Amino acid sequence: MSLAFRATVAARGFDVSFSLAEGETLAILGPNGAGKSTLLNLIAGLLTPDSGEAVLGGEVLFRVPGGAGAPDRAPDDRPARRVLTPPHARSVALLAQEALLFPHLSVLNNVAFGPTSAGVKRSESLRTARRWLAEVDAAEFESRKPAQLSGGQAQRIAVARALAADPKLLLLDEPLAALDVAVAPAIRRMLRRVLEGRTAIIVTHDVLDAFTLADHVIVLDRGHVVESGPTRRVLQQPLDPFTADIAGLNVLSGIRTAHGMRTAAGDDLVLAEADDLPPGSACTVAIRPSSIRVTAEHPAGVPNTLALTLQDLEPRGDLVRVRAGDLSADVAPALAADLDLTPGAAVWFSFEPSAGALYATGS
């Protein structure tokens, strides 16, 4: 279902408009206080705007006439009426950072809750719940209680529960932020699978999430859109310096191999599993500069090593950004000094398989 959104909230300096086509995932990026949660809360019905309108698949979520961009006239030319559809009637599911499952219900009943409360027969609700549990690779946990789940398992169940209610729009509020770095890649891949073809908005601090999950990106700062467009265009060729700073990621393209990827430069990388990418397909891996290790000698025991020539060094907060080839690594100043890093020096960049987020190129 497509979404058209425009809203102002004066007390928060919030004035945002955007539209989202059916089946697309939009990532909202921005620093603390940019207005990301405000935007989700307006759509979910937890906050009322001062003015604006949001229409999801022809249904008005809210219409508050008065301010800039808010319609004063209805389509039939009568004065527009204020409409505030209650949250439960919006067909919008909100997935929070924490899984927020019902503690007293089993996993199966947690997932069946949405369809059951919508009046679907019990047997049918259970069938739907089992289908979604299988979809998020969590069928084996159906009789457990939430307290018996790890953070990553609970988040899988929360995704199944949100989708079992068959929402027209799925809102995800930093769904990976509360998870262990070791489990985040698997959950990210699961989300990528279930978001395919689904209308969704994901709020994140993490450009990796945007790269791997979203078709389009909006960058917010202080309640305003500073840049928007297709994910790769915005994050790889940012027009706004603010976006460029946010997008500080390494990206390597190549061809999927049995265990990872062969880069365009001919380096064989070992990467985490990605079942949806068959060998031979064009793919891209994104790696954070902070996940790259820099050494003067070839590092032993690390699967991914790249021999590069150092280009330059630049202070970046508490760290030093080391640029070599097309890659950047962030290292502690003491390490940069110990390594005697000077432009033109030969260096090795290395990273663990789990540090790379692999995704199909062109999606």
Ligand X SMILES: Nc1ncnc2c1ncn2[C@@H]1O[C@H](COP(=O)(O)OP(=O)(O)OP(=O)(O)O)[C@@H](O)[C@H]1O
In whole angstroms, how close is the CB of 287 to ligand X at the nearest point? Answer: 23
What secondary structure does DSSP assign to 279-296, as a single string? TTSEEEEEE-GGG-EEES
Range in contact with ligand X (rule: CB under 6 A) among 25-33, 66-74, 179-187, 352-360: 25-33
Given 2, 23, 33, 198, the residue binding ligand X (CB under 6 A): 33
> Interface with ligand X includes 114 (CB under 6 A)?
no
- Which residues lie closer than 8 Å to 338 by C-beta, 6 or more apart? none
Stretch that binds ligand X, among 36-44, 95-103, 185-193, 209-217 (CB under 6 A): 36-44
Which of 2, 17, 37, 97 lies at the binding interface for ligand X (CB under 6 A)? Answer: 37
* Residue 263 near residue 253 (C-beta atoms within 8 A): yes
Q: Are 28 and 201 in contact (CB under 8 A)?
A: yes
**Residues 1, 20, 27, 34: which binds ligand X (CB under 6 A)?**
34
Q: How far is the CB of 320 from ligand X (least distance, A)?
A: 27
Percentage helix, strand, coil for the chain under 3-state DSSP, each rounded to 5: 30, 35, 40
**Euclidean distance between the first and final Cα of the chain, in Å?**
20
Using CB under 6 A, which of the segments 26-34, 92-100, 189-197, 257-265 binds ligand X?
26-34
Query: Closest distance between ligand X and the C-beta of residue 209, in Å?
Result: 13
Answer for which of 30, 152, 167, 238 binds ligand X (CB under 6 A) is 30
Identity of the amino acid at 78: R
Site for ligand X in 311-350 (CB under 6 A): none
State yes or no: residue 224 binds ligand X (CB under 6 A). Answer: no
DSSP 97-125: SS----TTS-HHHHHHHHHHHTT--HHHH
Q: How far is the CB of 32 from ligand X (least distance, A)?
A: 3
How many whole angstroms separate alpha carbon 242 and alpha carbon 31?
A: 10
Give the nearest distance from C-beta 15 to ligand X in angstroms.
12
Which of residues 1, 5, 29, 38 is near ligand X by CB under 6 A? Answer: 38
3-state secondary structure of 3: strand
Site for ligand X in 2-21 (CB under 6 A): 11-12
Alpha helices of 175-299 — where are they, by DSSP H? 184-195, 207-213, 231-236, 241-246
49 binds ligand X (CB under 6 A): no
Smallest gap from residue 357 Cβ to ligand X (A): 21
State which of residues 7, 8, 36, 179 lies at the interface with ligand X (CB under 6 A): 36
Residues 146-175 binding ligand X (CB under 6 A) are none
Smallest gap from Cβ 172 to ligand X, in A, equals 13
HEC string of 128-191 equals: HHHHHHHHCCCHHHCCCCHHHCCHHHHHHHHHHHHHHCCCCEEEEECCCCCCCCCCHHHHHHHH
Instruction: Report which of 43, 171, 153 is spatially closest to residue 101, judged by C-alpha positions.
Output: 153
Taking CB under 6 A as the rule, does residue 35 contact ligand X? Answer: yes
Structure tokens at 44: 């979910």
* Residues forming the site for ligand X (CB under 6 A): 11-12, 30, 32-38
